[in-house]
Homo-oligomer: A and B are copies of this chain.
């Protein structure tokens, strides 16, 4: 891929600063940028960008002077993302069913579907147009996959689960494993059949080796636009709203209801049967043990409003000093008492 800086400026609808004729062959970060690459920078990284080897840099509209050829845009990160799409190495996947793939009975395949080597599609599955199924992925009976999905290798979608259009499931992700439900009778744990399913809406991304359990009855639901990182766990009957983020290794216990635009940072967890309001954020390693109102920012264990947590940390740090002060007070008071 080779484009002039002028062509790139047009592409991202930006303002060209400097020589528009230079040719750009790659798009990368500042550290790795070579002399034919374009990168991007926002404050406080502009100076570092100027010192980098990059041929040109995408900068904010508010940066009016720059020592290298540059393109000014409103949102440098978004423009950079656009360029990455253009320069991304294309992985060509042939449509069609590979001879070693196994497709069951009464399966409905849309146009341009690719079922790669050794993938297994069980009976009565429906798959929409342009969806790609990588090797060793298993789609259980009566599952429904939308169009334009990518399911990477070793993914499992168990029976009767639904995956919405344009969703991406990374390698090893499991959708529809049994929920963790038991009735203990006489000290022995009897399995509660998990007869529900999982519904993944449109534009959802599910990370590598992430697990989403099917509902006991009804559905575990992940609403549109939500993005889930690697090794995340969502328990049975969880309902996740739209456009949420779950960072790696977050875990949500059964029957939790989560609003829209909620973020769980890495290794955060949430106990079962809890309701989380819209636009809430949970810091890394936070442990939620009660309902949380909309718009909250919680930290720590048990999770509490972040400011409260900060105050708690600050006051904890003053305890050693407090110990000394109290010792001192005791001495001084004893001295007064002994006098009187």
**A330, B321: Cα distance in complex, Å:** 14
B-facing mask of A81-122, CB < 8 A → 1, else 0?
100110111010000001010100000000000001110100
**A237, B30: Cα distance in complex, Å:** 12
A177 contacts B171, CB within 8 Å?
Answer: yes
B271 contacts A183, CB within 8 Å?
Answer: no
Contact of A85 among B100, B193, B208, B333 (CB under 8 A): B193
Contacts of A28 in B (CB 8 A): 217-218
**A8, B230: Cα distance in complex, Å:** 43
B284 contacts A266, CB within 8 Å?
Answer: no
A241 in the interface, Cβ–Cβ < 8 Å? no
**A28, B333: Cα distance in complex, Å:** 65
Which of A11-19, A59-67, A133-141 touches B?
A: A133-141
B284 contacts A287, CB within 8 Å?
Answer: yes
**A284, B77: Cα distance in complex, Å:** 35
**A70, B7: Cα distance in complex, Å:** 72
Given A180-B207, A336-B336, A315–B323 Cβ distance below 8 Å? yes
Contacts of A120 in B (CB 8 A): 116-118, 135-136, 153
A231 contacts B218, CB within 8 Å?
Answer: no
A245 in the interface, Cβ–Cβ < 8 Å? yes
A185 contacts B78, CB within 8 Å?
Answer: yes
**A32, B216: Cα distance in complex, Å:** 11
A146 in the interface, Cβ–Cβ < 8 Å? no
Contacts of A316 in B (CB 8 A): 312, 316, 319
A138 contacts B154, CB within 8 Å?
Answer: yes
Q: Which residue of chain B is the closest to A193 with respect to CB atoms?
A: B84
B158 contacts A156, CB within 8 Å?
Answer: no
A51 in the interface, Cβ–Cβ < 8 Å? no
Tell which of A134, A284, A317 has the most Cβ of chain B within 10 Å.
Answer: A284
Q: Which residue of chain B is the closest to A181 with respect to CB atoms?
A: B81
A129 in the interface, Cβ–Cβ < 8 Å? no
A-B contact pairs, 22 of them (CB 8 A): A27-B195, A28-B218, A81-B192, A84-B217, A102-B117, A153-B156, A168-B191, A172-B209, A182-B227, A189-B225, A209-B209, A233-B248, A233-B266, A248-B253, A251-B267, A269-B285, A285-B287, A312-B316, A322-B323, A329-B333, A333-B333, A336-B336
The 10 closest A-B pairs by CB, nearest first: A28-B217, A177-B208, A32-B218, A156-B171, A138-B153, A120-B135, A102-B117, A84-B193, A211-B230, A174-B208
Residues of A whose CB lies within 8 Å of any CB of B are: 27-29, 31-32, 75, 77-78, 80-81, 84-85, 87-89, 91, 98, 100, 102, 116-118, 120, 134-136, 138, 141, 152-154, 156, 158-160, 168, 170-172, 174, 177-178, 180, 182-183, 185, 187-193, 195, 203, 205, 207-209, 211, 213, 216-218, 225, 227, 229-231, 233, 235, 237, 243, 245, 247-249, 251, 253, 261, 266-267, 269, 271, 284-285, 287, 289, 300-302, 311-313, 315-320, 322-323, 325-326, 329-330, 332-333, 336-337, 339-340
